[in-house]
Structure 1
Amino acid sequence: MRFKIDNKEVDLTRGVIYTQGSQQRHDIRAKTLQVLTLLVENPDRVVTKQELLNNVWCDVVVQDQVLVQSIKEIRDMLGASTIKTFPKIGYRWVAEIEPINKSAQFKQFMTIRMLALAFLALILVVGLAHFILDRADSQQLPRVAFLPVENNMPDKLHDWVPIKGMDHLTRALAQQTTLPVSNTDDVLLAIEYLQELDTRGVRSLSGKIFKLQQKLDVQLVVQTRLTGYPEDLQLHYTLHSKYGPQQGVILSQSVEDALNQLVNVLADKYQQQEITASGSYHGAFSNQAFAKGVNAFLQRDYEDAIALFRSALVEQPNMLAARRYLAGSLANTYQLEQAISLLQGSLLLTDDSASQKEHLRANLLIGYLLIHWPQGENRQQELDLAEQYIAKAKGLAQSSQDKLFIAYSYEELGKIKRLQGQYSEATRWLLAALEYHQSFHGRYGQTAALIELAKIAIAQQEINEAKHYFNKAMQVANESNASPNQIWVLLAQADMYRELGEKSRAHGIAQQALDIAHQADSPQLIARVQAWFAQVPIHTIN
């Protein structure tokens, strides 16, 4: 059900509130969504507190305060006058709403489509402008300043990245090109000076780019953000010049390689040398759309991501990374057949040294989808097909000696064998995956294999053995302060206790996971934990 109230549009199916006239989106907490739905569907009567508690918190004993909190959240989001309180009795929805019918939805769809086409046209114009202006830029080289690298890695292993990464970029660009570059100390002093002048106490650098350009007398400010996981990184960059911001994203296995690829991008942009890196994309249109799409994907705005990735593929239809992210976005919106078909199409494209890694990923992702998104009635057939794709991924990983993806392939094979009840073989695959993960600098990748080993123990009713694996997995996650991995371990433990009938203990553990998700301020992690409380399956590719 979808409806409008004042300047907001509420989607009860997706659990989202959109503010019209802006791009603001607010995800509704799972329990609060259930309370809101029950009230909106019964506007002609008072819904008692007990009825709300019985329907929303039917599986756990709670205090009335949890209901009060949900009512407060609804009023904060939609207005204080939307719900009337009947003391000691309950609540009634009193605000007028405007249901959105199918014709309105179609109109909205057409509006979105027109906006997407307008965006596509704008990006093409911007791309052409960048091409023309880049040629002009080559005649007069800009002075460059790198900002500290924003570190969004989910661990403490990369705490060195902001300043050392910034210094690496500064030194490498100065050494490899004739571009004038502001040194690290001057940039840091300028940033500190501007922040001291800011009486509002705003620490973000985004609003200070122009002042920073003036202070340092530079024409190009490079802003970067590192995200992803060890051995599988993304370096997002924005080039701020007088022609406006230009965005891009680089995929790499190491921080140093990603930084060097960015230096190559800048060198190529100003015709300082030939580009040699194979992991980045430089089409003005496709690069911008791909980078924006990845950002939307990370914020769980999958519909926007789908439009952006499709736009990127207009210029570069063989852009395998964009095809992979588009497939992930389609899967996250339950368009599984389209996702798998797209990935299968990627496997038909030329298999050269630049695409082998993406072919590996495509095989692995198809297998992953077949394992975790069961669709057909013949589950055994699905798992057999998944095993075929995972085996192909394993072969590609082994031929290129890609240890991370060898480990990933072993983990998925272990899952398949666990689901088939072949516990001994599953254990062998998972222990082999652990050996690879233990050789990495970021060792918290071990947690996935340890959780799977715990699930095997649970299936064999060896609860103490399962607890041992969970404890080991949490120890590994805690050592690196890796919040996603901590959450996966806690939710797996919560699943075990819920299956054992210890609901109170299960909810307590899941609450710990929710606290960590909120501390990490990750929409994906918060949604995952809330789905556990709502007892609804959530299929998400991170």
Structure 2
Amino acid sequence: MRFRLENKEVDLTRGKVRFLDVEPVQTFEIRAKTLQVMEVLVQNRERVVTKQELLDSVWSDLVVQEQVLVQSIKEVRDLLGAETIKTFPKLGYRWIAAIEIMDTSPRQMSLLKSIRFSIGLILCSALLCAVYFIFINSVASQLPKVAFLPVENAMPDEIHDWVPIQGMDHLSRTLSQQSELQVSAVDDVLLAIDRINKVSLGPQYFFQLQQRLDAQLIVQTRLTGYPQDLQLHYTLHSQLGPQQGVILAPNIDNAFNELVDILTQKFGQSAQLSTNQYHSAFSNQAFAKGVNAYLQRDYEAAITLFRSALVEQPDMLAARRYLAGSLANTYDFKQAISLLKGSLKIADTSQSQKEHLRANLMIGYLLINWPQGSDRQKELDTAEQFIARAKSLAQSSQDKLFIAYSYEELGKIKRLQGHYSEATRWLLAALEYHQSFRGRYGQTAALIELARIAIAQKELEEAKRYFTQAKQIADDSKAHPNQIWVLLAQADMYRDLNEQTLASELAQQALEIAYRADSPQLIARVEAWFAHVPIHTVN
């Protein structure tokens, strides 16, 4: 849906606002949750929408404070004008600004034509192949037609802004080329999305998409995680109901290709699932739901889901790792470490080596950040042994990201032991690896540790220099978590220096970023700072 409001053109489908009275025309992105709030208010502008209704519609899968809604209303008013939305105290909000509903813009049509032109030849070839297979194979008539939605980009940076449409196109083309499945054209899907009243992504929405596209399978995806350590969450909407899964991969191409392989194996020959596939699907769906619960900080639900996944697949190392993280985040450290040590006893194969690496690193991380015994030096020595094993595994597989992570943890251990020169060497080595990655914001963790070493040595100007460098890198990448880590580390420094006002200002900046990111984990982390409660979350 698109509408005009005075000198502004609002596109609810694309999540953009264009200011038409300036040259050149300025375009601003609308934050995802704020966009959903605006959609609900515009669609129901004939009445007052209660606060609870907005919270239930937009944050249905989260337990949040009312402040997140207040923040979204403020963002709409800042962007479109103070008189856009009227507040009804103790009741809710109503959209009161007059708007002019518009048809699809020439610019959108140009984009769709461009997409059609770029993939037309491939789609025609895929269609010919599909017709051929249908003609020669009677089974083909039973195969579902597949439609990919734009990939939701939940990466914490700006370097993945290309993912939604290009990722959708990549998945569509690859599945067409590697299977006999029919795949809806990208521009057809975009047009169908544009014409459907999307108040929420409920069953009715996906049913309407299936009807418009004549597709029996709608594939919804979300990319999250960090560069070189990604998660691709997917939901398959079909007559069997939604089926969820999650793919862990080092890069985007691997994640997309693995999803194509899953779809080809599941639907390429027959739409019916075998018993073995059913059990595998159950475990993967429980694991995927567990990861979602984990990301929302609902650790009790996550623990139940991960344990359910492990009933069917007890050697599912990724589920064991996430279960250990959930246990640690509920302060059951002994059971978390025991579970990870058990993972190390599962046969080492090429597929499990990465998980063994992670298990060693995670045990060391828990021992570093959550002291358990009275002999702290012995605890740090034990942590160093596990981190050293993780480093060796990372070096043997040339996994540069986890080499860098291992170096950072070794540097942290040496800082805590007071061996500042050795700690600095490890951290500078970690920086070298991070500088080789496209996502530069991985450098911030090492820079924060270098700043802490400088603070311990009373070199405050050196610490400030490291903090400035870390903040600049995080800001350039628009990486919300890293911006927050830097601000809170600075706030810690000034709080220790009894400069409470400056410390609180920095922490308040961090809180505003956390709310803009709509991240329960980030919000909880900053609120813990204000409450003087130590919090370490296993990511």
Band the TM-score falls in, shorter-chain normalisation: 0.7 to 0.9
Contact 1:285-1:312 at 8 Å conserved across structures? yes
| One of 360, 363, 371 as aligned partner of 2:360 | 363
- 1:305 equivalent in structure 2: 302
| One of 454, 457, 481 as aligned partner of 2:454 | 457
Alignment of structure 1 residues 136-285 onto 2, 5 Å: 140-194=142-196, 198=197, 202=199, 204=201, 207-271=204-268, 283-285=280-282
- 1:528 equivalent in structure 2: 525
CA distance in structure 2 between the aligned counterparts of 1:182 and 1:218, rounded to whole angstroms: 7
1:348–1:155 Cα change, 3 Å: same
Does structure 1 residue 405 correspond to structure 2 residue 407?
Answer: no
Alignment of structure 1 residues 373-522 onto 2, 5 Å: 373-522=370-519
Contact 2:490-2:506 at 8 Å conserved across structures? yes
**1:202 Cα deviation (Å)?**
2.5
Could you tell me which amino acid in structure 1 is paired with residue 244 of structure 2? Q
**1:208 Cα deviation (Å)?**
1.3
- 1:315 equivalent in structure 2: 312
**1:428 Cα deviation (Å)?**
0.2
Give SS of 1:377's match.
Answer: coil
Name segments (4+ residues, structure 1) moved above 6 Å: 22-25, 136-139
Please give the per-residue CA displacement for 1:307-329, whole angstroms capped at 9, x wherever unaligned. 00000000000000000000000
Could you tell me which amino acid in structure 2 is paired with residue 287 of structure 1? N
TM-score, L = length of structure 1? 0.73
**1:282 Cα deviation (Å)?**
7.9
Q: Structure 2 stretches of 5 or more lacking a match?
A: 1-55, 68-88, 92-137, 271-276
Give SS of 1:236's match.
Answer: strand
**1:158 Cα deviation (Å)?**
0.6
1:29–1:471 Cα change, 3 Å: farther
1:493–1:244 Cα change, 3 Å: same
Contact 1:236-1:248 at 8 Å conserved across structures? yes
1:511–1:385 Cα change, 3 Å: same
| One of 340, 343, 346 as aligned partner of 1:346 | 343
Give SS of 2:142's match.
Answer: coil
Contact 1:286-1:315 at 8 Å conserved across structures? yes
Contact 2:143-2:268 at 8 Å conserved across structures? no
Figure out how many residues of one structure are paired with residues of the other and give that number: 410
The Cα RMSD (Å) is: 2.5
Please give the per-residue CA displacement for 1:216-262, whole angstroms capped at 9, x wherever unaligned. 10110000001101110000000011110111000001111100000
Give SS of 2:242's match.
Answer: strand
CA distance in structure 1 between the aligned counterparts of 2:66 and 2:465, rounded to whole angstroms: 33
Q: Structure 1 stretches of 5 or more lacking a match?
A: 1-18, 31-74, 78-135, 274-279
**1:203 Cα deviation (Å)?**
6.7
1:297–1:76 Cα change, 3 Å: farther
Contact 1:363-1:389 at 8 Å conserved across structures? yes
CA distance in structure 2 between the aligned counterparts of 1:290 and 1:487, rounded to whole angstroms: 29
Contact 2:140-2:180 at 8 Å conserved across structures? no
* Overall identity of the aligned pairs, in %: 71
1:137–1:378 Cα change, 3 Å: farther
Contact 2:287-2:319 at 8 Å conserved across structures? yes
